[in-house]
């Protein structure tokens, strides 16, 4: 599914932060750049999620690498999760949920105006927004209050990511939204 490719930078970031925050940020930035440039060269467009990921990971890589190198992994993850949640909410607020850009690639044009298709994409975007908020809350509690141990934070983040991926793959099929 195309949207999962759009989330690849964030997923790589989440998986690699335990190895090295700097590595995770630069790999996520490189993935975001690669995905964004591939789509731009093919379709002459940059999707909201791709552009946001590119800007977010570039800014974080530079900030955490050069300006504030002592920034904790939890703090970096908190910023990334919070930013992605705000971006998702922003696309809903502006009545253009970012999942629509991906869903249209895999759905016949005749389905696009149907209420079921539009509602499904609002739901998926809101679901990702909530998942990012849950991950951000866990990261924030670990970084700033030490309520959660790092191991619990990692479990919450990975379980939430897994749930979001499963819902993104399975929900359109169970909702009867056809694909090409």
Task: Give the count of beta carbons closer than 10 Å to the beta carbon of residue 20.
Answer: 12
- Distance from C-alpha of 139 to C-alpha of 79, rounded to nearest angstrom: 9
Task: Let me know if residue 179 belongs to a domain.
Answer: no
**pLDDT for 143 beyond 70:** yes
pLDDT > 70 fraction of the chain, expressed in percent and rounded? 96
Task: Let me know if residue 156 belongs to a domain.
Answer: yes
- Distance from C-alpha of 158 to C-alpha of 160, rounded to nearest angstrom: 5
Task: Let me know if residue 66 belongs to a domain.
Answer: yes
Q: Which pLDDT tens digit goes with each residue over 88-135?
A: 999 999 999 999 988 888 889 999 999 999 999 999 999 999 999 999
Question: Is there a contact between 152 and 160 (Cβ–Cβ < 8 Å)?
Answer: no
* Mean of pLDDT values over 16-28: 92
Task: Let me know if residue 140 belongs to a domain.
Answer: yes
Task: Let me know if residue 180 belongs to a domain.
Answer: no
Name the residue range of residue 102's domain: 2-174
Count: domains in the chain: 1
Distance of CA 12 to the CA centre of its chain: 10
């Amino acid at each position: 599914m195309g949207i999962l490719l759009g989330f690849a930078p964030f997923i790589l970031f989440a998986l690699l932060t335990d190895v090295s925050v700097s590595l995770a940020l630069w790999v996520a930035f490189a993935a975001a750049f690669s995905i964004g440039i591939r789509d731009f060269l093919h379709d002459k467009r940059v999707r909201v999620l791709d552009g946001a990921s590119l800007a977010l990971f570039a800014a974080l890589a530079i900030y955490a690498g050069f300006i504030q190198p002592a920034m904790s992994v939890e703090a970096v993850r908190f910023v990334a999760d919070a930013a992605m949640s705000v971006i998702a909410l922003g696309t809903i607020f502006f009545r253009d949920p970012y999942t629509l850009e991906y869903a249209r690639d895999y759905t016949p044009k005749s389905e696009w105006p149907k209420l079921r298709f539009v509602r499904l994409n609002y739901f998926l975007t809101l679901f990702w927004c909530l998942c990012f908020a849950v991950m951000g809350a866990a990261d924030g509690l670990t970084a700033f209050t030490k309520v959660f141990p790092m191991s619990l934070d990692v479990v919450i983040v990975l379980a939430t990511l897994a749930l979001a991926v499963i819902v993104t793959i399975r929900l359109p099929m169970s909702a009867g939204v056809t694909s090409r």
